[in-house]
Chains A and B, each alone.
Chain A
Amino acid sequence: MSRVVRVASGQGFWGDWLEAPIRQVEAGPIDYLMMDYLAEVTMSIMQKQRARDPALGFARDFVPLMERVLPDALAGNVKIVSNAGGVNPKACAEGVIEAADRAGCADRVRVGIVTGDDIMDRLDQLLEAGHPLANLDTGESLHAVRDVVQSANVYLGAWPVVEALRGDANVIVTGRVTDTGLTLAPLAYEFGWARDAWDRLAAGTVAGHINECGAQSTGGNCLVDWETIPDLADPGYPIVDAVDDGSFVVTKHPGTGGRVSVASVTEQLLYEMGDPANYITPDCVVDFTSIRLEQVGRDRVAVTGVKGRPATDSLKVSISYLYGYKAVGTLVYAWPDALAKAQKADQVVRERLRRLELDYEQILTEFVGVNATHGPLAGPPDPNIAEVQLRIGVRSRERGPVERFSREIAPLILNGPPSATGFAGGRPKVESIVAYWPALIPKAEIRPEIEILKA
């Protein structure tokens, strides 16, 4: 019987269920708790927060969570791996030490800090050195938006986290480490996998893909027999039970809700999938067409046969830049003729904007309850529909037109078509749009750094 390493998922994004990591540590034995906090836009939000206050720029929720989790985690010898560090992993690590101090366990906490992903300060030097950081979708050079860049972070893989574990860290906070790397790293460290053990690294990456969205692999957002999925009020988040050859079982703690089935795991495997034979990470290239799934018990799905290929020479860079502004306004129209009234109100708003000679890149109208999610596929609505929500969004490179639009919704209640309500939220909020610029950079340009912080 080969040794099993248990990596549990405690957070699928910044804003996920706060009880999940607590439940993972309390409800049964695990070896590692991984928590993913970073999405494409998250880094720019954090960059903005750090610009206002140099002590910010990380997932602040993580610190109070650590205060709750650490005593039990340390008692159970559970190590924590998270990219909660955002654009300020050092401040996050200091927060963890303070949280451990409040929980009375600071003497036992060794925080590993992984940095080196942030290349914001090196952008000009990299451009000058001939790295175009061209947009992967459009091919444009970064020069086009250089002056409005908000953040630039390289996706690091599992190996810097492995280094931190070798440095005896028991809580690891990173900057932009890949979601999958947070699960792969503990496995590579525990089993001593080589950097060219491509099939094993690919298997650990698949384990990471299953863990990275929390309960989305254990019955959350699962379409199959969704009405019968047990106790979604307390869904068990995924746990990967892996062995040295890379094969693993996806499961969850007994007594929790949710469901681990071939269907639930397959749905997650396909989530945000591109070409399944070429799933590229910093650590390896995974072939998802090689994966075998088998239900091997209640809430237990075995994952075997994963094939991998050598990693590429580049790393992906996630760059964010200021694009423009947008706002979305809504009003609800009631029976009778709910849709016709909403359509008339839309025409009125558009005509008023036209007469004001305001310029928008886009004005998008949706009728929620009729066509907002499935467009024309939804077919004609019930003529007696009880209510329809009019939802108008505008986008512009300039703030002014969006600001003015935000004042054109409320007046409709008194001066537009009848039976309008549902304006409780007040004026539409004008939001700045920070857009995403994916690019590549040669691996040789990037040097991850590891530091261990103790109380």
Chain B
Amino acid sequence: MGVKPRRKRVRPSTATRRVPLLRLAHARSGDKGDTANVGVIALEPEYFPILERQLTVRRVAAHFRGMIEGKVERFALPNLHALNFLLHGALGGGGTLSLKTDAQGKVLSTALLRMEVEIPEDLDVG
């Protein structure tokens, strides 16, 4: 192990509160075979760092536990203040094989927006 890099510490805000991701972001989802993608877009540019920090692959996978069979991948599009998640094995076989109501993952977008995120107490998210 090398020396731990020194990170500039941002002063932690004193208090936080939890809100549904719906208050910070909008989203659209779709399918490619048995993989669903969920694009999550910050409603305001300043919310994007919060999404980047809190919407980790681990947390998103935990959020969808029991609903998807494969792994979760994450890609960042800072230019669009957006993250793109691939949820593998999310569609019960996908395409024509799937027996699900949401065979094409059209509303996994809002399913992700149910996730609770922590924001500074004084951040006004409408």
Stretch at the interface among B6-14, B49-57, B72-80: B72-80
Name the distance in Å between B50's Cβ and chain A's nearest Cβ: 17
Shortest beta-carbon distance from B31 to chain A in Å? 7
Find the B residue at minimum CB distance from A268: B28
Contacts of B99 in A (CB 8 A): 326, 328, 362, 364, 393-395
Q: Which residue of A lies closest to B30 (CB)?
A: A272
Residue of B nearest to A431 (CB): B96
Question: What string of 1s and 0s marks CB contacts (under 8 Å) between A377-412 and chain B?
Answer: 100000000000001011100000000000000000
Q: CB < 8 Å: which of A40, A305, A375 contacts B67?
A: A375
Which of B71-118 touch A at CB < 8 Å? 75-80, 82, 84, 86, 92-93, 95-97, 99-102, 107, 109-111, 114
One digit per residue, 1 when the CB lies within 8 angstroms of any chain B CB and 0 when it does not, for chain A 266-296 equals: 1111111111110000000000111111000
Find B41's partner among A137, A270, A323, A435 (CB 8 Å cutoff).
A270
Q: Within 8 Å CB of B111, what residues of A?
A: 373-375, 377
B97 touches A289 (CB 8 A): no
In chain A between 27 and 58, which residues have their CB closer than 8 angstroms to a CB of chain B? 40-41
User: B15-35: contact bitstring with A at CB < 8 Å (1 yes, 0 no)?
Assistant: 000000000001110111110
Once bound together, how far apart are the Cα atoms of A372 and B102, in whole Å?
8
- A436 contacts B by Cβ under 8 Å: yes
A263 contacts the other chain (CB 8 A): yes
| A213 to B: closest C-beta gap in Å | 9
Q: Given the complex of chains A and B, what is the CA–CA distance between A368 and B110 in angstroms?
A: 16
Closest B residue to A289 by beta carbon equals B77
Residues A436 and B95 in contact, CB atoms below 8 Å apart: yes
Bound Cα distance from A132 to B58, whole angstroms: 36
Contact: B97 with A435, CB < 8 Å?
yes
Count chain B CB atoms within 10 A of each CB in A137, A374, A377, A433 and give the residue with the most: A377
User: B60 at the A/B interface (Cβ < 8 Å)?
Assistant: no
Q: Is B66 an interface residue (CB 8 A)?
A: yes
On whether the beta carbons of A366 and B33 are closer than 8 Å, the reply is no
Q: How many A residues touch the partner, as a band? A: 35 or more
Q: Which residues of B are found within 8 Å of A377, using beta-carbon distances? A: 63-64, 67, 111, 114
Of the residues A224, A271, A323, A374, contact of B39 by C-beta under 8 Å: A271
Assess whether B92 is in contact with A276, with CB atoms less than 8 Å apart.
no
Interface string of A48-76 (1 = CB under 8 A from B): 00000000000000000000000000000
Q: Is B119 an interface residue (CB 8 A)?
A: no
Minimum Cβ distance to chain B for residue A343 (Å): 17
* B24 → A minimal CB distance (Å): 12
Contact of B102 among A137, A267, A289, A373 (CB under 8 A): A373
A312: which B residues are within 8 A, CB to CB? none
Closest B residue, CB atoms, query A433: B96
Measured between beta carbons, the chain B residues less than 8 angstroms from A395 are: 93, 97, 99
A223-B26 CB under 8 A given contacts A435-B95, A436-B33: yes
Q: Is the CB of A274 within 8 A of B32?
A: yes
Known: A223-B28, A224-B43. A269 touches B101 (CB 8 A): no
Alpha-carbon distance A16/B37, docked complex (angstroms): 22
Nearest CB of B to A208, in Å: 16
Shortest Cβ distance from A40 into B: residue? B95
In the complex, are the beta carbons of A273 and B80 less than 8 A apart? no
Nearest-CB residue, chain A, relative to B94: A436
- Minimum CB–CB distance from B20 to chain A (whole Å) comes to 11
Expressed in whole angstroms, the minimum distance between the Cβ of B41 and any Cβ of chain A is: 5
The answer to whether A270 and B100 touch across the interface, beta carbons within 8 angstroms, is no
Task: Report A291 CB to chain B, min CB distance, Å.
Answer: 6
What residues of B have a CB within 8 angstroms of the CB of A421 in the complex? none
B114 touches A292 (CB 8 A): no
A328 to B114, CA, bound (A): 28
Selected from A277, A290, A374, the residue in CB contact (under 8 A) with B75 is: A277
A368–B100 CA distance with the chains assembled, in angstroms: 11
When distances are taken between beta carbons in the complex, the residues of chain B under 8 Å from A368 are 101
Let me know if B101 and A273 touch, CB within 8 A. no
Whether B101 contacts A270 by the Cβ 8 Å rule is no
Chain A residue at minimum C-beta to C-beta distance from B26: A223
CA distance A326 to B97 in the complex (A): 8
Contacting pair A373 B28 (CB below 8 A): no
Given contacts A223-B27, A266-B41, A373-B107, 18 further A-B contacts (CB under 8 A): A137-B33, A263-B41, A266-B39, A267-B41, A268-B28, A270-B28, A271-B28, A272-B32, A273-B37, A305-B79, A362-B93, A366-B100, A372-B100, A372-B101, A373-B111, A394-B99, A433-B96, A436-B33
Going nearest first, the 9 A-B pairs with the smallest beta carbon separation are A270-B39, A393-B99, A272-B30, A364-B99, A267-B28, A223-B26, A372-B101, A374-B111, A375-B67
A interface residues (Cβ-Cβ under 8 A, vs B): 40-41, 137, 221, 223-224, 263, 266-277, 288-293, 305, 323, 326, 328, 362, 364, 366, 368, 372-377, 391, 393-395, 433-436, 438
Could you list which residues of chain B lie within 8 angstroms of chain A, going by C-beta atoms? 26-28, 30-34, 37, 39, 41, 43, 63-64, 66-67, 75-80, 82, 84, 86, 92-93, 95-97, 99-102, 107, 109-111, 114
A sample of 12 inter-chain contacts (CB < 8 A) reads A223-B27, A224-B26, A224-B43, A270-B39, A271-B39, A273-B84, A323-B96, A375-B67, A376-B66, A377-B63, A395-B97, A435-B97
